[in-house]
A and B are shown apart, each in its own frame.
Chain A
Amino acid sequence: MAGGPEDTLEIMSNQTVAWVDLTTQDVELSPLETALQGQFLGARGVGASLLSRHIANASDPYAPGNPLVFSVGPFTGTPWPTGARYHVTFHSPLTGAYGYANSSGVFGPALQQAGYSALIIVGRSEKPIYLEVTPDGIFFRPAEHLWGRGTREVHDALEANGSRVACIGPAGESRVRFAAIINDRGRAAARCGGGAVMGSKNLKAIVVRGKAQRDLPAAFIAEARHAFAKVRDHPNVRGLRDLGTVVLVGPKNRSGDLPARNHQSGQVPWVDRVDALAIARYTYRTRGCYSCPIRCSRLTRVERGPYPGELEGPEYETLDALGPLCWVDDPEVILEANRLCNDLGMDTISTGATIAFAMECHEHGLLADAELTLQWGDPGSVLGLIERIARRQGLGDLLAEGTKRAAQQIGGDAHRYAMQVKGMELPRQEPRIAKGFGLGHATSNRGADHLYALPTIDLAGNLDAARHFFPPQIVPELMEADNEAYKPDLVVLSEHYCAVSDALGVCKFSTAETYALYPEDLAIGLSALWGREVNGQDLLTAGERIVNLERLYNVRLGLSRIDDHLPERFTTEALSIHTFERDASGEVVRSASPIHIGRLNDFEAMLDRYYLLRGWDANGIPTSQTVRRLGLQSYVRGFDAPGD
């Protein structure tokens, strides 16, 4: 795919980039560079380039000059199936390195339809403000009346006449290092602490109003309709549509991939209290994001009892993080915890993992609280800690720093209970069972993350996808979940495909999770949209370029192989997987003998092969040959790429 500066093709007519300075309240508009689109497609790729070029102070994530980039992809806001996503790129206060968050709903499409492909937000407002983004311009509005308010109230106040809102809650204002940006009431650009960066700029919300004139090529609309039907009718999306992402809970519990008690276990004996059927009892509607034929989102309601309320969710990740990981078996507590996190504006994954960390520290006598028991499964501790973290009160002030920093302050063995990579808490897979995910958590450039690679092919039994991408001789071993030999191959491919999905602005449930669409399908759509030929391999190469650019950002900060490691629990402790039976009294009992022992046999060998496949040296640094091959020479600043 062409991508040089000589390429002057007008790819899209309304691709405006707005440089928004909160200090001076100036806005500069410019067209999105065509070369940038050619190289990095959009959204995540464009965000990576813009952050790399404009980072002002990498030693302070809250430095006013640092950019907070909101960007959308070429498919965002179009009829392309799942073209609903937007991306936020920033220097992460949680990892101290490359950070981003990605979300769905209708905010991203509204931003695209208002005529903007990226907002580069710099500076710091003297007083709290929100931005009003319209086709006619971007306006600075006072937000002092909204400061301190939860995200629900902010939506109530700003969401009118079809406008769309992304905002922070109290957690972002108090710079909780894993504060989220909440859009469309129930969707979250959750990870890496983007909400804290937004809070540091005194930016409470972004409101998008109005639509710009935009003509999409007829050929693209036809391809989008075809792809929409393909996703809608694909058997791999059926479970997500019928039961949402919580459909995973029961099967994962059987296989030992339902992390519990801070990864001391991969199963809970009471799974039927929190599985998909349990959540279905609270579900009153399903919802799809913009242009989505899958509609995996659940609207749930608790009518009575101590925790009444409504919620969009829970998703699998949230359910495990705030449930089994903290040994909470009451679905109504989990729903309430989810609601609190959304309203206060916090990443549910990091929140749950941080509470589980606190509980395990307490178990080992390292942490106590005068008001909260910190006992496994105690609802008061879970809900109380969420409130305290968001407002940095008491113990919450320590935990708002995330598990890595909190462990350093607690001292002793606390670091052993911090389930994090590069400072970001692990998502809800068990690396000793889902080994591809384990490797992907470790290598992800934004810290531990299930969506950076999403290596599902082996776990999903997707033999057709394996045959599509890999040489036949490695497919049998690759498809064995417990076999580590070709997990690096799976992770590399999946990282590229995920980067493509994020860059185009589509949901991975149509791509790397289900393979309802292959890169070739996306390329057909993009060719029709751009009016020039792009093939599936071009897209995967763009994905590789994005992953390498993100790596280069971190390499400049001194990150290397040592930062691509999992917490020692996963390489030093084995995990016993059992079956469960009900005895005569109805009690659930665990089988005496395990049916499987989960362990990572040779993580270093996986990492070696991963680097080899990537064209990186043994320290995890892209070689100069790799940098040249991907056209990233201009991004190599402050260090010399190693020789070939």
Chain B
Amino acid sequence: MPVALVRIHIKYHNMLRRLTGVDMQALDLPAGCTVQTALEAISRQYGHHLHEMLFSPNGTVATHLVIFHNGQLTRDDPDGLLLSEGDELMLFPSISGG
């Protein structure tokens, strides 16, 4: 039986854009996927430099990654936040002053 897919959109900002080389992309993921699933998928696609920006060495989502889900800042557990068809994630690397 074919796996049902949902299509989401990911927008990359600043350093993340430089590492991926794209402003945004569509991503087809299995229904029931979470933000964590999406981050893992793009991490596999773009390799370890992007992985370092998305995840801490212990495998949790990096503290300096800022995620907006459908335009709203999310601080929820990325592994518990389900994605639906047409959802949009905006990813910012958070590096501030001094």
Contact = CB atoms under 8 A, between A and B. Distances in A.
A251 B93 contact: yes
A63 B66 CA distance: 51
A245 B98 contact: yes
A460 B66 contact: yes
Nearest to A436: B97
A579 B51 CA distance: 13
A462 B93 CA distance: 10
Interface in B11-70: 13-15, 18-19, 49, 52-53, 63-64, 66, 68
A456 B92 contact: no
Contacts of B52: 254
Nearest to B14: A481
B14 A456 contact: no
Contacts of B18: 577, 595-596
A248 B95 contact: yes
Given A461-B93, A463-B92, A577-B18, A316 B13 contact: no
A247 B98 CA distance: 10
B14 A248 contact: no
A257 interface: yes
Contacts of B14: 255, 458-459, 461, 480-482
Contacts of B63: 238-239, 242
B68 to A, nearest CB: 6
Nearest to A315: B98
A252 interface: yes
B95 A437 contact: no
Given A239-B63, A481-B14, A316 B98 contact: yes
The CB with the most chain A CB atoms within 10 A, among B15, B19, B52, B98, is that of B98
A181 B15 CA distance: 38
Given A251-B64, A596-B18, A460 B96 contact: yes
Nearest to B62: A251
Interface residues of A, number: 41
Given A254-B52, A254-B53, A480-B13, A456 B64 contact: no
Interface string B57-93: 0000001101010000101000000000000001011
Contacts, number: 83
A255 B49 CA distance: 11
A437 B93 CA distance: 17
Nearest to A456: B96
A239 B97 CA distance: 13
A429 B66 contact: no
Interface in A441-464: 450-451, 454, 456, 458-464
Given A239-B64, A480-B14, A460 B73 contact: no
A450 B97 contact: yes
B90 A463 contact: yes
Contacts of A255: 14-15, 93, 95
Contacts of B97: 248, 429, 437, 450-451, 454, 456, 459, 508, 513
A577 B18 CA distance: 10
A479 B68 CA distance: 13
B29 to A, nearest CB: 23
A496 interface: no
Nearest to B11: A476
6 contacts: A427-B98, A429-B98, A450-B97, A459-B95, A480-B14, A595-B19
Interface of A: 235-236, 238-239, 242, 245, 247-248, 251-252, 254-255, 257, 316-317, 427-429, 437, 450-451, 454, 456, 458-464, 479-482, 508, 513-514, 577, 579, 595-596
Interface of B: 13-15, 18-19, 49, 52-53, 63-64, 66, 68, 73, 75, 90, 92-98
Query: Closest 6 interchain pairs by CB?
Result: A461-B92, A461-B66, A456-B96, A460-B96, A481-B14, A251-B95
